[in-house]
Structure 1
Amino acid sequence: MTSDPFFHPVSGMDLPRFAGVATFMRLPLVTPDHPRFPEVQVGLVGVPWDGGTTNRPGPRHGPRQLRDHSTMVRAQHGVSGMRPFETLACADLGDVGPNPADIQDSMARITAFYDTLVANGTRPLTAGGDHLTSLPVLRALARERPLGMIHFDSHTDLWHSYFGGTMFTHGTPFRRAVEEGLLDPKRMVQIGIRGPMYDSEDRDFAKAEGIRIITIEEFHARGVSDVMAEAREIAGTGETYVSYDIDFVDPTFAPGTGTPEIGGPNSWQALQVVRELTGVTIVGADLVEVSPPFDATGGTAFLGITIMFELLCKMAENAA
């Protein structure tokens, strides 16, 4: 429990939600050089970078829009009653400054930033950025041992390469993570996979490695509770990373993303899947691929930050 008001968000009863400097969920800004950084248990981090995007760019602008819309987050979960900001010391840790002209340098910068969090014992909740962001984050979090992963997406992101040998795109992060020993493929589940395919190479890799893919057809046929019961069983009791691509959600509800695929879950199901993570040992999580240029109204970002609040509540609940 943290009763320290320093780590509590600014209430809309004290300062209107349209006023003040935007931080994630109106939390204090505590960069790693801040004297109170050692106390932060969960850090919300922006990674404004889309160097891995292969089609429609824009997720580099995601963290800023997500921060702006996060002013609507309040202190208590409406269903569970969880008050995460009183359970864990949470703070906005700012952005990782990428190098927009160099993928490798950007990934090195991201990993170095998250190394600081790992050394401090701070669990990250990340706002991307495109999905390649997950790889350098995992390089820090899984440096000592492979993690399990529960992955919500319409794409597997298990491709070997793009354009004849480009190994690092938003379609390859989890192939690299398995190859580098960052993820245990037997403890990986990918939920919501759908859409036209180039070929079956990514799914063939998943089958060979033991990665469980739950297609959108199976998801809709079985329902959220049944699918998530299997996801929890696959993850087990070991340390697990949760990665949530906003394109998991049907573009009717989340049009602001680079590679939308029709036929996905609605916004209610988008929240339900996170609420079913009870008992999962979440050592880090991300919400990626919010692309403001494709949804200037901000509805996608509002859904994205609501999902992040659900993730934060689950991290707090599972740590309590």
Structure 2
Amino acid sequence: MFRTSVRFAASMALACSAALSFSAPALAAWPDKPITFVAPFTAGGANDLVARIIAKAVGAALNQPVIVENRPGAGGVIGAAHVARSPADGYTYLVGSNGTVTNSLIRSDQPYKDEALTPVALLSITPSVIVTHPSNPAKDLKDFVARAKQAKSDRITFSTAGNGSTPHFVAEMLKEATGLPVEPIAYKSGSEGVSAVIGNQVDATSEASIVTLPLVQSGKLKALATTWDKRMASAPDIPTTAEAGFGTVRIGHWAGLYAPTGTPADVLDKMNAAVEQSLQTREVQDALRQSSIEPGGGSRASFAEFAANERKRLGEVVKNGHMQTQ
């Protein structure tokens, strides 16, 4: 009986050992099912476009489908909150934006902690273009400011996509840089804000190049300046805000991948590597740049540093412009 027990114990040990050796690779084989990228804005904008272009390429690199799920609302907060509360298993990511680092500075009701999201990779930067109605005689931003000062305008109306949106930041930056009485006028979305300029209901606005350039090219808007570091290759005739003498008016619609905090570091490293690989392909670069979107890239650490610097820089604009909600 003793020998039988020994044989049984030995058999069980071998079986357990075999099971462990069989299951260990399966547990480590991330990804073994589809991945979700949550775009916290409606379909058709820069954030959604970037999410879809890169999701396709990342899916090919990881040999798993990457599904883009739109969860719009509250300036990106709804989608971000969903990801922050998702399992930290490497299968759900946020395609975050400027609001991901500034919403908690502005909103008192953000339903998640900033620390609940971890930076993974910088995906892209889309220049913003300041635009006005074609009937405005100003030829560029410098001329626009000079004419407004000469006319001693009592207010310059500037449509935004709501409190804390990128156009709102541009409005506050312009107010501080030029001394003009720039008044932000909130609309429900960036497209509505742009429509207000086309309808000559407000003096100006700014939006991502993917939205504004086709309207500039069709004659429905006039471009005054682009708000990023350099002129756009697809529209080299539009000067930068720095060239107009307003270097502090600087912001881009960037997109970055975030994961729920607690996601294993090796999984985050693999996702970062897949994004980096995707951004190096000609197909992705061409797809982004034809919409005047610059590819991102870099390590997890470099994206975390970029996001921290943006939060600090834009936090000063929030403070100076009294952009906080109660």
TM-score (norm 1): 0.28
**Which of the two has greater helix per residue?**
2
Greater RCO, CA 8 A, separation 6+: 2
TM-score (norm 2): 0.28
